[in-house]
Amino acid sequence: MRIKSVKFKNFRCFRNETIVNLNDLSVFIGRNDAGKSAILEALEIFFNNSLVKIERDDLNVDAFAAGENTIEISCIFDQLPTQLIIDAANPTSLQDEHLLNASGDLEIKKLFTCGASVPKEKVFIVANHPTIVNGNDLLLLKKAELKARATQLAIPPGNYNGNVNSTIRRAIWGSFAALNLGQSEIQVDKEEAKEAWDYLRKWMPQYALFKSDRESNDADKEVTDPMKIAVNSAIAELGPELAAIQQRVMTKAIDVANRTLSKLQEMNPALATQLTPDFKTDPKWASLFSLTLSSDRNIPINKRGSGVRRLIVLNFFRAEAERRRNENNSQAIIYAFEEPENSQHPNHQEMLIKAFQELAETDNTHVLITTHNPALAGLVNEEDLRLITVDGRDNAVVLDNQNDIMRMIANTLGMLPEPLKPGLLICVEGPNDVVFMKNISATIHQNRIDLPDLSANPKVAIFPLGGGTLKDWVTQDYLSGLGTPQFHIYDLDDAANPQYVGQRDVVRARGGNNWAELTVKREIENYLHADCIEEVFGFPVRFGDMDDVPEIVASTQHDAASPNPWNGLDPDTKKKKISNAKRRLNSDVTQRMTWAQIQAADPNGDIVRWLEGIRDRLQ
């Protein structure tokens, strides 16, 4: 199952019902104490209630003052299991049991009553369910009660299998002219519906939360949690093998138990008939394995600096990104990380963001990040940003898909954190352009020492304006408050009708050290060398100065791996594949390009000319 969104009400700072839509990568940004951690911890409570446990004090203070005492946390899922096992060996489906909401998704709500010292949990499925009398409570009825209901409604016994509850329900629902479907909440942690909940829990994603708070003990969670996740992931992915082992053990054990009862039958038949072999619980495989990392010279990891400990976590994510990219059978997992910039060098922060992006691009994987650093927000795509702020009545709200979300972040947090005061601000369209300029300039600097290495020069900062909001940034000049000269580089896109020629001219007209350039080729990826692209992706490509390189690479890669033609894909799938190709082109390919290849791919020296302009404005 894939999580689409989360909803909560009366949880900490969120008084009203708040819906948070989740992308494969979601970055929550806002001021300290805005509610970023509350979102991640609400999910931890929903999935695990372990690292963070629900407490009575989690109840929103205004809700408490109004006499309310319940917290609601809901998750909405798609990519659902095709079968639902309620009756053993007789599968049904979520659709047949009317357990999907009006959008065709599975919505699970957990309600916590905060009257006692430890809030009590109830679990509901919010569904477009029959509301008609005698048809609205069938999932809660036992087999005998379902048969009685069928008899009451005069349904012929031949219309259903009396030993299978799902067929009785289907016959009862089929006897009504209209089911009057409407939003209903079916409690699934009790009565007969509990079997449906027990089955669905096996399909739920794993949720792994990495908190920013430092714990000073020998079992420091910053280090142990990744290792626990490694064990849990391995167990989940080896589920069929472990289930087979479990079944073999149970079969042999029950055989021994039955032979024992057979012997007991000879001595005490009355006692033997009262006993049956029964396994009370399934084995807890995770408790059998304890994985840790031993530090050099037996120094406890928790005695090392917090930066070192979090560096271990960083490389856990990098390793996971590589593993999950190479394995297609990974179970769904959600990684949540609070403030990855804490205790990390800026270069490590960028590496971590890159690892998160790579993880989010793998199947069955979500990555959630919180930060209050706008520089980190600039490294990801606009559609992945979520701004946590307050409305006019001081209620916490989550904003996404706003056309001016970068401006709103700028107004809320300021664009660049102190003490970063660059001598020149380089403005590009998106985060991939940031990576391109840093990698290519580093290689050029090794051969032209007079030109700046943008990946290491403290006098420059590169800021992505976002393609969708670039015109607004330039026209309104939101960055003018920094008092820093700006050098802008935009894609040409269309030689006959350049999209940003007007914005280029606006920046140039400001005078001083402000300047703007358009690429001479279609976009930044057209300056890559075809040999390096083949080296990274494993297939040759051909393209001209005005061809769409990311789409060429994405479509070629898809057609080589899938029997379904590229032209038959839906626009969203194409967009994601092109985005993945674009990221690898700007990160992996640029790192492999030599000075000679840069010159060959850019014979007119456009990139060198940009760097010369940047150099001259830094002097």
- Per-residue pLDDT of 152-183, as tens digits, reads 999 999 999 988 889 999 999 999 999 999 99
- Listing DSSP states for 85-136 in one string gives EEETTEEE-TTTTT-S-TTS-EEEEEEEE-SSSSPEEEEEEEEEEE-STTTS
User: Could you read off the pLDDT of 555-608 as tens digits, one per residue?
Assistant: 999 999 888 999 999 888 898 889 889 989 999 999 999 999 999 999 999 999
Contact of 123 with 197, CB cutoff 8 Å = yes
C-alpha dist (Å) from residue 379 to 155, 184, 464, 583: 63, 42, 8, 11
State residue 220's pLDDT score: 45
Average pLDDT for residues 324-343, to the nearest whole number? 72
Beta bridge partners of 390: 396
State residue 215's pLDDT score: 45
- Model confidence at 375, pLDDT cuts 50, 70, 90, reads low
- Model confidence at 323, pLDDT cuts 50, 70, 90, reads low
- Model confidence at 330, pLDDT cuts 50, 70, 90, reads low
C-alpha span between 209 and 44 (Å, rounded): 7
- Model confidence at 418, pLDDT cuts 50, 70, 90, reads very low
| Greater model confidence, 427 or 351 | 427
Has residue 60 got a pLDDT over 70?
yes
State residue 602's pLDDT score: 97
C-alpha dist (Å) from residue 541 to 115, 259, 443, 578: 65, 69, 23, 15
How many Cα atoms within 13 Å fall on the side-chain side of residue 347? 7
Contact of 443 with 598, CB cutoff 8 Å = yes
C-alpha span between 17 and 15 (Å, rounded): 7
Has residue 464 got a pLDDT over 70?
yes
Has residue 189 got a pLDDT over 60?
yes
C-alpha span between 519 and 517 (Å, rounded): 7
No. of helices (H) and no. of strands (E), the chain: 21, 18
Beta bridge partners of 368: 26, 336
How many Cα atoms within 13 Å fall on the side-chain side of residue 612? 6
State residue 523's pLDDT score: 96
How do the domains of the chain map onto residue ranges?
2-23+41-205, 425-618
- Listing DSSP states for 22-49 in one string gives --SEEEEE-STTSSHHHHHHHHHHHHTS
